[in-house]
Amino acid sequence: MSIRTKVNLAMVRRHAEEIRAKTGVDLIPVLKADAYGLGAVAVADAISDLSSGWYVFRPSEAIESRLWDMTGRSTIAAVVLPEDEPQQLLANHIRPGVWDAAGAARYAICDPVLCVDTGMQRFACPIEKINEMRSRAPIAEAFTHAVKREQAELFRQALGGSGLRMHAAGSALLDEPGAWLDAVRPGLALYHDAVRVSARLVQAHDTRGTVGYGGFSCQRVGVILLGYSNGMRVGPCVVNGRRQQVMEVGMQSSYVSLDASDVCGDEVVLLGDGLSPGEVARSWGCSAQQALLTIARMGEKVYE
């Protein structure tokens, strides 16, 4: 299958440097879901000297990537469950996010981080229970999942003056200085323009009437060996520098609209060359994060 995912680690590093210079606070890169499909180990290695720690969803992500052994930076894990043993977290320098009294007490020896609810209503402590949580464990740091300026402000008001290290801003709030606090946790902002995913045309021809299962019309089409089993959807693509369209998606192949000069063997770019995760996401009806993760996972990664 002639599918290639090129990851530009120099671009990831440039984004990390720019975010640090812009905000002037600590950088906590988000490496969950294998760094949005780019490869957590490669990304961490490229920017470890710029980070003050890492952020993942589950402890297993940090353990499998050996983030502490590789970088000497601790990791915040957003969600810990009863099967996550405190001693294992300690051994891997994983700091659990806690949001209820039981979790705070169980992981008190792991330098837990308090997650405060400012509107997400998921894996977070209600503001009115912050003091109770702090009585259960020696908490020195708190964060919230904020996508709006008002959420970050609510967090600051609830904990300002508490002496806790605080962070609220992910990629969505990097243009809001009031949300930067003591650290920022970017994910998508680190990875945009750093991935190029392409597949080769295995067929290219002029059409005779309607095409495919659905009977669509297009003067010239090509076929790539990616289908909905790979996460492919109808949407934009780039062929020889021109915007084209993935017209129909089958289980393991898809039709692509072509120009008269496009031939078998040409590249079909699914991400990159000016085609952003945001543009794909608008067509797919999903978030840019979902589009990036889905496409970045389609092919074998090559780092440059």
The 10s digit of each residue's pLDDT in 38-53 is 999 999 999 999 999 9
**One domain, residues 61 and 167:** yes
Using alpha carbons, list the distances in angstroms from residue 221 to 19, 93, 232, 265.
Answer: 42, 53, 17, 13
In-domain check, residue 1:
no
pLDDT at res. 160: 84
What is the domain-level CATH number for residue 279?
Answer: 2.40.37.10
**One domain, residues 43 and 98:** yes
Q: How far is 132 from 139, CA to CA, in rounded Å? A: 11
Neighbours of 95 (CB within 10 A): 24
**One domain, residues 179 and 284:** no
Q: How far is 234 from 285, CA to CA, in rounded Å? A: 11
Residue 95's domain comprises 9-191
What is the domain-level CATH number for residue 161?
Answer: 3.20.20.10
Proportion of the chain above pLDDT 70, given as a percent: 100
Q: How far is 256 from 260, CA to CA, in rounded Å? A: 13
In-domain check, residue 261:
yes
In-domain check, residue 136:
yes
**One domain, residues 22 and 60:** yes
**One domain, residues 173 and 149:** yes
Instruction: Mark which of 141, 162, 191 sits at the end of a domain.
Output: 191
Each residue of 234-277: pLDDT tens digit? 999 999 999 999 999 999 999 999 999 999 999 999 999 999 99
**One domain, residues 201 and 146:** no
- Where do the H-state alpha helices sit in 143-229? 149-159, 188-191
pLDDT at res. 288: 97
Q: Give mean pLDDT, residues 119-143.
A: 94
**One domain, residues 101 and 217:** no
pLDDT at res. 1: 52
**One domain, residues 250 and 286:** yes
In-domain check, residue 238:
yes
Residue 220 reports pLDDT greater than 80? yes
In-domain check, residue 4:
no
Averaged pLDDT of the chain: 97
Per the structure, the count of domains in the chain is 2
**One domain, residues 169 and 23:** yes
pLDDT at res. 278: 97
pLDDT at res. 223: 98
Instruction: Mark which of 151, 167, 191 sits at the end of a domain.
Output: 191
Q: Give mean pLDDT, residues 138-143.
A: 97
Each residue of 160-203: pLDDT tens digit? 889 999 999 999 999 999 999 999 999 999 999 999 999 999 99
Residue 59 reports pLDDT greater than 70? yes
300, amino acid identity: E
Instruction: Mark which of 191, 223, 240 sits at the end of a domain.
Output: 191
Q: How far is 143 from 78, CA to CA, in rounded Å? A: 10
pLDDT band at 2, cuts 50/70/90? confident
In degrees rounded to 5, what are phi and psi of residue 145? -90, 100
Residue 287 reports pLDDT greater than 80? yes
